[in-house]
Structure 1
Amino acid sequence: MMLTLLAPVVLVATAAASPQAEIESALTTSAAGWDDGNLERFVAIYADDAVFVSGGKIARGRAEIAKNYAKSFTGAANVRDRLSIQPVAWRTLSKVHVLFVGRWTLAPAGAAPQTGLTTLLFERRKAGWQIISDHSS
């Protein structure tokens, strides 16, 4: 006689993080790169083919966006101090596109903060949620 023991199998379903939570996490990681003076980490959130519009200028692609920001980075620091981004509005456009409007703030030590608005279009790609369009003022 053959006895077969069947151990109960427990499947735990883990809730996938919401697009909003994943994007907020990516924004936090990017801002930490800014604060740490790590340009590569700061711009990793941008897709290779992203478009950035600010101050009447357009930068096309992550490399050009990084080049525009490079002057703010010296050694292992950022000359413009701490960056924070606060959500203002979210709009889900599709399963792979989310529009984010936020307020960015740069808080230099001993000086008045600078602040402005940004509109970011995120696209879910293999690397995760990435910015494909950024308009900041």
Structure 2
Amino acid sequence: MVHRVNGILLSLGLLTFCAWLIPSTPANETSTPALTVSYRSNSKAAKEIVALVARQEKAWNKGDLEAFLNDYLRSPQVTYVSNGNVKRGYDAIREHYLKRYGNSKASMGQLRLSDLEVTDIGDKHVLCIGKFTVFHHAHVPIYGRFSLIFVKTKGEWKIMYDHSSQ
């Protein structure tokens, strides 16, 4: 009986050791944790915004900059503020993202959004704030906070104001 228990313990120890030897995939490479959300409103609009933000994260992680930018208002009034710089107009924002991140999965890296807080600020406007992390294979991760103001136009939510800080 003692030999059998010792054999079982030895087997468990070997399994544990072998599992430890298997290289694990870093969390920042492939796993996509669920968005953490604090609804300041239980409205349909707030839930739609969370779905939109999740869709943006997915587009980014596929390296699809055009799909990511599709949720920005196509207007000269759309505004992006980051690190002391202001970009106005969809084309200027698109150009900024292209220069900074490129348009491929390798150049864009992996985006993780978390700690979303969603608040209705009128019938046609919603505020979403949260945290972001961009993981690049060859660079130090970029961490920061963002605030987005969405406007409902032609039945769709679009980002009209984006402020990101690191």
Q: Is the 2:46–2:120 Cα contact (8 Å) retained in structure 1?
A: no
**Higher fraction of strand:** 1
What's the secondary structure of 2:73's corresponding residue? strand
Contact 1:38 1:73 in 2 (8 A): no
SS of 1:48 mapped into structure 2: coil
Identity between Structure 1 and Structure 2 (%): 28
Gaps of 5+ in 1: 1-16
Shift of the 70–93 alpha-carbon distance from structure 1 to 2, 3 Å rule, reads same
Equivalence for 1:47: 73
The superposition leaves residues 66-99 of structure 1 with CA deviations (integer Å, 9 ceiling, x where unpaired) of: 100003124x424241112223422211111111
Tell me whether 125-134 or 108-117 shows the greater mean CA deviation: 108-117
Determine helix, strand or coil for the equivalent of 1:89: strand
- Number of the residue aligned with 2:134: 106
State the Cα deviation string for residues 13-45 of structure 1 (Å, max 9, x = none): xxxx81122111111221222111211111111
Q: State whether structure 2 residue 59 is matched by structure 1 residue 33.
A: yes
Q: 1:56 to 1:79 in 2, by over 3 A?
A: same
Task: Count residues with an aligned counterpart.
Answer: 120
* 1:77 paired to 2:105: yes
- TM-score, with structure 2 as normaliser: 0.65
Mark the runs of 5 or more structure 2 residues left unpaired by the alignment. Answer: 1-42
Which structure has the highest helix share of the two?
2
Question: What is the letter of the counterpart of residue 19 of structure 1?
Answer: A
8 Å Cα contact 1:34/1:42 also seen in 2? yes
SS at match of 1:29: helix
Alignment TM-score, normalising by the size of structure 1: 0.77
Selected match of 1:24 from 47, 50, 53: 50
Q: Secondary structure at the match of 2:94?
A: helix
Larger Rg: 2
